[in-house]
Amino acid sequence: MLAKRFLSTKLCAFRYFSSVASQTLKVGDVLRETRVFSSEDVKDYAEVSHDWNLLHFNPETAHKAGFENRLVHGMLVASMFPRIISAHFPGAVYVSQNLHFRSPVYVGDEILGSVQATALRETKKKFIVKFSTKCFKSHDELLVIDGEATAILPNLEMLQTNSSE
């Protein structure tokens, strides 16, 4: 159910390329996407992960812990990174991710996820790509998550995505 909901969620994809004339991924290219996390997203994630921490469900508990409202699970927010990569490179294999949670994400926040290619290496007719990964609150550009990911891509040709989805 969570995977079906996640895949059917309407996301806005923005693409920024260092190689404007080409659809081939190059170091420096950035892929971006926005998403708003709902209460239902948080509940579905808790069902799959079994993380029922009250900070995600009870506003009083969240306030007592010093937060403005109920939190979105950090790993749910970070799931934007493999989604962005696989949307442009079907068949990509996500092999590593490190994360730093910088600021809380609350239910209803609009989040901008961004991955930037920082290194490319060809091996056995596949490509190992390192990405800088970041999520920001869209309304104030506050960094909420950053890190680095590595993925194995079957090729460097980016699949067209509809930016109006």
- Residue ranges per structural domain of the chain: 12-38+73-153
pLDDT above 70 as % of the chain: 83
In this predicted model, what pLDDT tens digit does every residue of 11-47 receive, in sequence order? 444 444 444 344 899 999 999 999 999 999 999 999 9
pLDDT at 135: 98
pLDDT at 6: 41
Q: Which CATH topology does 12-38+73-153 take?
A: Thiol Ester Dehydrase; Chain A (3.10.129)
pLDDT under 50 in the chain at which residues? 1-22, 163-165
pLDDT at 159: 83
pLDDT at 120: 97
pTM of the full structure: 0.83
DSSP secondary structure of the chain: -HHHHHHHS--EEEEE-SSTT--B--TT-EEEEEEE--HHHHHHHHHHH----GGGT-HHHHHHTT-SSPBPPHHHHHTHHHHHHHHHSTT-EEEEEEEEE-S--BTT-EEEEEEEEEEEEEETTEEEEEEEEEEEETTTTEEEEEEEEEEEES-SBPPP--TT-
